[in-house]
Structure 1
Amino acid sequence: MVLADLGKRINSALSEFTRAPVIDQKVLDQLLREICAALLEADVNVRLVQQLRGNIKSIVNFDELAAGINKKRVIQKAVMDELIKLVDPGVEPYKPKKGKSNVIMFVGLQGSGKTTTCTKLAYHYQRKGWKTALVCADTFRAGAFDQLKQNAAKAKIPYYGSYSETDPVAIAIEGVEKFKKEHFDIIIVDTSGRHKQETELFEEMEQIQAGVQPDNVIFVMDATIGQAAEAQAKAFKESADIGSIIITKMDGHAKGGGAISAVAATDSPIIFVGTGEHIHDLDRFEPGPFIRKMLGMGDMSGLMETVKDLKLDENKNLMKKLEKGEFAIRDMRDQISQISKMGPLSRVLGAIPGMDPSMLAGTEEEGTKRVKKMMCIMDSMTEEELDSDGKIFEKHQSRVTRVARGSGARPWEVEEVLKQYGQMAEMVKRMGGSKGLLSNMPKNGRSMNPTQMAKMQQQMQKMIPPQMLQQMGGMQGMQRMARQMMAGGGMPGMPGAGRGGGMPDMAQMQRMMQGMFGNK
């Protein structure tokens, strides 16, 4: 992921800092040197890095700090606050309003992913109940209308464009007027990609803006652009009234710091980040959660929003069964099917506090194949087998052979699925029933008292393998995770990632948390 290396370096510097026996000016200077070096290597603008360093030094003045104050905590908070300021200009982004047609215009460089992002944004709002439409005003790039038309058709979003009309201003005005008459809530206008040296295209952009009078102009910024980001962003800001930024290609391996510089150059807030090629790979941007996720602290709020958008929290029947400690093979199959809707496993894993997305680096394709094989094996089972607790296979080994043949798998792979089902069923038994974890969890997580929280953490500690507990940062990391989950009002539970060989190890992640499919 873009900025992952930056996050690791800053995290490493902070970890080294916390281990220092005495906190003095020398230790602070060493910490700031490492953080600033990491930011500069990630292509963050020099001026912004100097500003961050100066702000932290002014906040942490050892001569003025009161006696007995926790210096480590003061410095850690100052660093976190200043990192958040890098991506937060403090400007409230435009929010579409119901009862009117909200016109959104996209601008940006060639190849930044504008057309794909237009469809992603339209789909995002459509999923939330808005009536959305797309207008293709890009007559400069060959195939632009075909691309938008294909994307819109897949997402079932109405679109407007023309093969014969060559004037993008006319197309934009006609398209917007058409969808306004049809009372669409959100009308997104895609424009040609342009460079700051292309004067004619910049004049065209200004004409389109004057013609359609957009409520919001979104600047689409490629995360891989590097140091050129600030100059380009300034040029667009001078010609168009940029209100928001969307950063694309955040799933790559570029440094990504240039995109941060664009925020300062335009004084506009980032509203979304593109995290992949699929239509659902668009994440809402929040400065605090973004920095915490970059530093490996997770983003439970983002995970909860995905759960809500995909309506993964509405399986009440499963929730009732889990509360009783009941769990059939069919339940495991249905849960894995639902999880797959949330996107790549590494993306889901990265949202969980203490979990490093690099754990799945290089194995995404393999992991997806293993999950598909797992589903194929369960789909080859009979209704009786799916509704069983797996013991039916122990009594009749011929069933294992039959399922293996029907799914194109080997008998040991079927047995591996049954073994993992057994582990998950055992976990459910521990969580369900009158003495389980779910019985001690209040309906409103925010109302949990310290005693309940401590009891829940003790139960979770027993359920989590020692290796995973270490990855989460020990008991402190688990406490932070529990607080984040409670702040979200529920406990999303993730099946886990694949292992090096065989089938994916669902049990490890399931031992960590369960209630992804609903709130008690």
Structure 2
Amino acid sequence: MVLQDLGRKINAAVADLTRSPNLDEKAFEGMVKDICHALIEADVNVKLVATLRKSIKSSVNFSNLAPGVNKKRLIQKAVFDELVKLVDPHNEPYKPKKGKSNVIMFVGLQGAGKTTTCTKLARWYAARGFKACLVCADTFRAGAFDQLKQNATKAKIPYYGSLTQTDPVTVAREGVDKFKKERFEIIIVDTSGRHRQEKDLFDEMVQIQEAVRPDQTIMVMDGSIGQQAEAQSRAFKETADFGAIIITKTDGAAAGGGAISAVAATHTPIVFIGTGEHLLDLERFAPKQFISKLLGMGDMQGLVEHVQSLKLDQKDTMKHIAEGVFTVRDLRDQLSNIMKMGPLSKMAGMIPGLGNMMGGMDDEEGSLKLKRMIYICDSMTEKELDSNGLLFTEQPSRMTRIARGSGTSVREVEDLLTQHKVMANMAKKMKGGMANMQKAQGAMQGRNNKQQMETAQKKLASMGQGMPGGMPDMASMMKMFGGGGGAGGAGGAGAGGFPGGGGMPDMASMMKMMGGMGGGMPGMGGMGGGRGRGKRG
């Protein structure tokens, strides 16, 4: 992904400076130059880059620095803050409300990915408890309704459209009226686009707006157009007066950085960015979180939201951890949950430090290694799955049987059991903390006063054990996978080095498990092997 390359280059420039023994003005100038080079390569407007350069330099004035000031920290903060300003439109988008009908209308040129993005957004809201639906008012493009119908069926989202009605205004009005009567909370209207900006397209947009009176109009824009995004968004703004933008195809667009910064210059909020073709490849855009993720500092808020939306069942595992227990079945359940979270590269980008550590790790390869570990667990008996792993030490022949049944090697089985042992030891250490978390959650649920509940949530957050909504704490899960260590420091380029990044969790164990970190997991080199089940014994 090109934006990841941009993040790595900026990160490398800052890291080189902070490691430099002579942190002087000349070294600082070199870092700023490298950052500006990287931004221009990502197609960010030259004038914006020049402004950024001036702002960073004015934020760190070497001649006026007081003695004892941490120069490294000051520089890192200046870079972070100025990059956030570069992509921040300083304008809040519309926030849909539960319990009422929120009509969202999509506009944009043909080929930008409107229809696919409509379904992605409907699914995103549905996963967060909204009653969402789709209306296809694109009667211009042949096959538009069929595409929306297929996407909506796959995402299990109700839809409305017509194969006979050619008037898009009539279809839009009828669809919105129907879903309003049925008390849908998110009604997304997909409109037609053209290959270029035409008077007919703009007239149609205005007519549909007047017919459905949307609460929010979103323009969908292809990220590959780069700096042209500013002119295009201004033209649509004058006609449709949209309130937000979704930028698509940022996964491979060399001009993605240009599109994001250009749109920010129009002071129109970007609400989401499309990061791929699948239904889950839609990420909420927030300037600070975007830059944090870009620089390898992660987006823990986004990760927590993602985990909550998946509604993963971790009750048994969390109950076991609270008791200081972690069975082989618990390990298998957590591996399955990781598989459900989506591409490993996407998840890694949300975890502080892990995105950089993964480097160019292939999603398919990492996913296959996880699957092989699940095959090993699937070849175990019920007794083995619910054990603490000691019976494998006492009866090594069990490992040979499991390896044959899962189409893997004895070495792979040993490595899985070693990983389980590490995590079981961590569960023992976490026993007290989990008990405190449950007490705090109980206190929250037993109080009606909103202020008291907020105080209890803050206490949970400060413990590093809690999370809004009473969901299992992702931080605990990450500690479990990573050994619980904290590796961040002010001088590093990872999460600890940047403001707001916190201490970077030690992800070495997790990376070994997934096959990263210098050659992968021992014994996992062969990608062959079936998934047969071993003899139950």
| TM score, norm. by length of structure 2 | 0.80
Are residue 93 (structure 1) and residue 109 (structure 2) matched? no
- Cα RMSD over matched residues? 3.6
Alignment of structure 1 residues 292-331 onto 2, 5 Å = 292-312=292-312, 315-331=314-330
Question: 1:39: how far off?
Answer: 1.0
Alignment of structure 1 residues 35-74 onto 2, 5 Å = 35-62=35-62, 65-66=65-66, 69-74=69-74
Q: Are 1:105 and 1:188, in contact at CA under 8 Å, matched by a contact in 2?
A: yes
Aligned to 2:388: 389
Q: Are 1:230 and 1:258, in contact at CA under 8 Å, matched by a contact in 2?
A: no
Q: 1:374 to 1:65 in 2, by over 3 A?
A: closer
Q: Are 2:323 and 2:431, in contact at CA under 8 Å, matched by a contact in 1?
A: no
Q: 1:333 to 1:293 in 2, by over 3 A?
A: same
Aligned to 1:144: 144
Select 1:423's aligned residue among 412, 419, 423: 419
In structure 1, C-alpha distance between the alignment counterparts of 2:127 and 2:10, rounded to whole Å:
36
Q: Are 1:346 and 1:357, in contact at CA under 8 Å, matched by a contact in 2?
A: no
Q: 1:56 to 1:400 in 2, by over 3 A?
A: closer
Deviation sequence 1:43-79 (CA, Å, 0-9, x none):
0112221222233344444555556544444333222
In structure 2, C-alpha distance between the alignment counterparts of 1:482 and 1:85, rounded to whole Å:
15
Q: 2:374 is matched by which residue type in structure 1?
A: M
Q: 1:429 to 1:483 in 2, by over 3 A?
A: farther
Q: Which runs of 5+ in 2 are unaligned?
A: 441-458, 465-474, 525-537
Q: 1:503 to 1:242 in 2, by over 3 A?
A: farther
Aligned to 1:337: 336
Q: 1:483 to 1:244 in 2, by over 3 A?
A: closer
Alignment of structure 1 residues 124-135 onto 2, 5 Å = 124-135=124-135
Aligned to 1:271: 271
Q: 1:301 to 1:31 in 2, by over 3 A?
A: same
Deviation sequence 1:404-427 (CA, Å, 0-9, x none):
5544x14x15x5134313332233
Are residue 498 (structure 1) and residue 498 (structure 2) matched? no
Q: Are 2:60 and 2:74, in contact at CA under 8 Å, matched by a contact in 1?
A: yes
Please state whether the residue corresponding to 2:194 is helix, strand or coil.
Answer: coil
Q: 2:258 is matched by which residue type in structure 1?
A: G
In structure 1, C-alpha distance between the alignment counterparts of 2:489 and 2:81, rounded to whole Å:
23
Matched residues, number: 486
Please state whether the residue corresponding to 1:122 is helix, strand or coil.
Answer: helix
Q: Are 1:118 and 1:190, in contact at CA under 8 Å, matched by a contact in 2?
A: yes
Alignment of structure 1 residues 432-451 onto 2, 5 Å = 432-433=428-429, 444-448=459-463
Q: Are 1:223 and 1:247, in contact at CA under 8 Å, matched by a contact in 2?
A: yes
Please state whether the residue corresponding to 1:183 is helix, strand or coil.
Answer: coil
Q: Are 1:216 and 1:243, in contact at CA under 8 Å, matched by a contact in 2?
A: yes
In structure 2, C-alpha distance between the alignment counterparts of 1:230 and 1:435, rounded to whole Å:
53
Q: Which runs of 5+ in 1 are unaligned?
A: 450-455, 506-520
Q: 2:50 is matched by which residue type in structure 1?
A: Q
Please state whether the residue corresponding to 2:514 is helix, strand or coil.
Answer: coil
In structure 2, C-alpha distance between the alignment counterparts of 1:375 and 1:503, rounded to whole Å:
16
Aligned to 1:236: 236
In structure 2, C-alpha distance between the alignment counterparts of 1:480 and 1:421, rounded to whole Å:
34
In structure 1, C-alpha distance between the alignment counterparts of 2:423 and 2:183, rounded to whole Å:
51
Q: 2:179 is matched by which residue type in structure 1?
A: F
Aligned to 2:369: 370
Deviation sequence 1:273-321 (CA, Å, 0-9, x none):
2222222222222211210111111111111111222233x63332232
Q: Are 1:430 and 1:436, in contact at CA under 8 Å, matched by a contact in 2?
A: no
Aligned to 2:258: 258
Q: 1:162 to 1:272 in 2, by over 3 A?
A: same
Q: Are 1:328 and 1:387, in contact at CA under 8 Å, matched by a contact in 2?
A: yes
Question: 1:119: how far off?
Answer: 0.8
In structure 1, C-alpha distance between the alignment counterparts of 2:374 and 2:196, rounded to whole Å:
50
Deviation larger for 396-405 or 134-143: 396-405
Q: 1:258 to 1:300 in 2, by over 3 A?
A: same
Aligned to 2:349: 350
Q: 2:82 is matched by which residue type in structure 1?
A: E
Q: 1:502 to 1:83 in 2, by over 3 A?
A: closer
Deviation larger for 85-94 or 419-428: 419-428
Deviation sequence 1:197-242 (CA, Å, 0-9, x none):
4332222222222222211111222222223222222222222112
Q: 1:242 to 1:357 in 2, by over 3 A?
A: farther
Aligned to 1:119: 119
Question: 1:93: how far off?
Answer: 0.9
Deviation larger for 261-270 or 343-352: 261-270
Identity %: 58
